[in-house]
Amino acid sequence: MRTEITVPTQMPKGHTKSRAKPQITVRMASPRGFCAGVERAIKTVEETLSIYGAPVYVRHEIVHNAHVVARLSAMGAVFVESIDEAPDDRPIVFSAHGAPQSAHAAAEARNLVKIDATCPLVLKVHTQAKRHVAAGRQVLLIGHANHPEVVGTMGQADDGEILLVQTIEEANTIAVKDERALAYATQTTLSVDDTAGIIAALKKRFPDIAGPAKEDICYATSNRQKAVKTAAPGADLFIVIGSPTSSNSVRLVETAKAAGARDAILVEDADQFDWSILEGVSTIGMSAGASAPEHLVEAFLTALANRRTLDIKTIETAKENVVFNTPLRLAS
């Protein structure tokens, strides 16, 4: 699709029209922005506020985006890192990233109204990990240390039953209990290419290792990375709208660089962008992480249109129609 966006300017009578803004080509990657799991998590907090009133407590940021968190905070959501910070008489919502079993047990021990907004694709990884452990297999989890999704998955079993693998080097050196009783799982928001290398290393070292029938990396992560790979080659600059705490947003920046963009950066919003970077730039690519609202993309394009004449080309590599059901406690 080819679209030109200009911002009309009314000049006072007798003034000459200023020189036209230079043109810039913008390759918009699609799909981008919110995925079904993020939409479900945000809606869960909104519906909990509607049913129970404010305040509603949320364990960890519901999704990794400062704008989303700020909006929900203004509505009455209180974000905490520990169940201990939530009072007895208010609901507690578990974030999209999932939580260890100990956090669920702590909420249940206090009879808190517990509402689980964990992404169903993350819950699938939890279920797989617990099934492998129950079958006597030690699980090697490919992911990033201290990411809440990894903390939640590792917390589905006793210490030592799930081990973290972050690099190919670790895959080649990690000590296991029994090489014949292993399985692997992955954090859902990783780079498809990086994960493939670690999986290959594990399979080479442990030929009997069990794995999921389908990769754990979620459809939305895969789709956004594929779109970026298509839009990035030859771009002078690739811009990803998202928060630095968002793993999938950071991976999109890495994907753009690897795919051939001359440079790629992560930007929270138009206000945080250094517009001087665009000097000498004629083609940019754009995407947004799965937790970034589309209005941030639109605001960036509006700000850009104040400076350049935009020639927008949409690069669509997939259509998404996935919808996840509301958590049972709210549905009932």
From residue 177, alpha-carbon distances to 126, 154, 183, 243 in Å are: 21, 17, 12, 38
Helix axes 247-259, 192-205, angle to 10 degrees: 90
Distance CA 196, CA 3 (A): 37
Inter-CA distances, 133 with 1, 139, 152, 182, Å? 50, 7, 15, 9
Question: What single-letter DSSP state applies at residue 275?
Answer: G
Neighbours of 176 (CB within 10 A): 14
Residue 61 phi/psi, 5° resolution?
A: -60, 130
Distance separating alpha carbons of residues 311 and 102, to the nearest angstrom: 52
Q: Are 312 and 26 in contact (CB under 8 A)?
A: yes
CA dist 225 → 34, 113, 191 (Å): 14, 37, 8
List, in sequence order, every residue forming a beta bridge with 315; answer none if it has no partner.
29
The helix (H) or strand (E) run that includes residue 75 is helix 66-75
Q: Burial letters for 261-300: b for 16+ Cβ neighbours within 10 Å, e otherwise?
A: beebebbbbbeebeeeebeebebbbbbbbbbbbeebbeeb
Q: Annotated active-site positions, please?
A: 149
